[in-house]
Amino acid sequence: MIILEKQTEKKNLYQRISQDEFSVNKIKTSSMLSLNQFMEAEKRIKSKNLKVGIFLNSDQSLDCLKDKLELFSIIQINFKSFKDGRPFTMAKELRKLHLYNGEVRASGHILPDQFVFLLRCGFDNVEIDGKEKKEWIELYNMDEGLYYQP
C-alpha cells in the first residue's frame, strides 16, 4: 500500500498494531491505534504527552473523540464501502467544526473517482494499492478545479 497526497507518493510514518502485539507501554508517536486501543491507552498518551494516530471505520462516530482531537497527529478514516459517504461529512466536521488541523487520511474501499471529493472535504491523502497509483493521478489531473461549491 502507498500513501498518495495529490500527485505525490508519501512515506507512511504510522504503523497499526495487531491486538496480539498491543501493549499500552509500547505506544509511540508513530502508532496508529484503533478506537478500542486508544481508549485503553488514553491515560498513558496524555501522561506521556504523546501524539498518536487513530484509525476509525466509516461506521464509527467521531462524537466520543471530539474533545480529544489534540491527542492525534493523524486521523485515518477507513471506508467499509466506497458507497458509504459518511466519511465525507466526518472530514468536513473535523475541519470546519472542530478546527482539527492534523493529518486526515482515507483508506479502505475507495475509488479514484472519489479522490477530488475526498480532498475537497478535508482529507489530505489516501492509502491505496501501489498498482492503482497511475489511475488515481490520472483522475486527479482530470479535475480542472472548477466547482460550484465554495
Partner 1 sequence: MYKYSEKDKKIIAGRVKQFRNQVQRRLNGKISEEEFKPLRLMNGLYLQLHAYMLRVAIPYGELSSRQLRKLAEIADKYDRGYGHFTTRQNIQFNWPKLPDVPDILEELSKVEMHAIQTSGNCIRNISADHLAGLTNDEVEDPRPWCEIIRKWSTFHPEFSFLPRKFKIAITGCENDRAAILVHDIGLKLIKKGSRIGFQVFVGGGQGRTPYIAKKINDFLLKKDLLNYLEAILTTYNQLGRRDNIYKARIKILVNQLGVEKFKELVDESFKKLSDKKLELNETTIQKIFKFFELPNIKHCNEKISISSNQKFNNWIKQNTIPHKILGNSIVLISLKSENRPPGDANSMQMYKLANIADKFSFGEIRVTHEQNLVLPHVKNSEIYEVWNELDKLELATPNIDLITDTICCPGMDYCALATARSIPISQQISNFFKDYGDQKKMGNIKIKISGCINACGHHHVGNIGILGLDRNGKEFYQITLGGSSKQDASIGQIVGPSFSSENLIIAIKKILQTYQKNKSSDKDDFMTVFRRIGIEEFKKNLYDNTGKTN
> Which value, to the nearest 10 degrees, does the dihedral of the CA atoms of residues 65, 66, 67, 71 take?
60
CB of 102 to partner 1, least distance (A): 20
Is the Cβ–Cβ distance between 112 and 139 less than 8 Å?
yes
CB of 141 to partner 1, least distance (A): 11
Pick the closer one to partner 1 by CB: 14 or 88.
Answer: 88
Pick the closer one to partner 1 by CB: 30 or 89.
Answer: 89
Longest dimension (CA), the chain: 49
Is the Cβ–Cβ distance between 53 and 72 less than 8 Å?
yes
Pick the closer one to partner 1 by CB: 11 or 83.
Answer: 83
Where on the chain is the footprint of partner 1 (CB under 8 A)? 59, 82-86, 88-89, 92-93, 96-97, 111, 113-114, 116-118, 120-121, 135, 138-139, 142-144, 146-150
CB of 147 to partner 1, least distance (A): 7
H or E, element range at 40: helix 35-47
Pick the closer one to partner 1 by CB: 43 or 109.
Answer: 109
CB of 24 to partner 1, least distance (A): 31
State how far the Cα of 1 lies from the Cα of 139, in Å rounded to an integer: 19
State how far the Cα of 150 lies from the Cα of 143, in Å rounded to an integer: 16
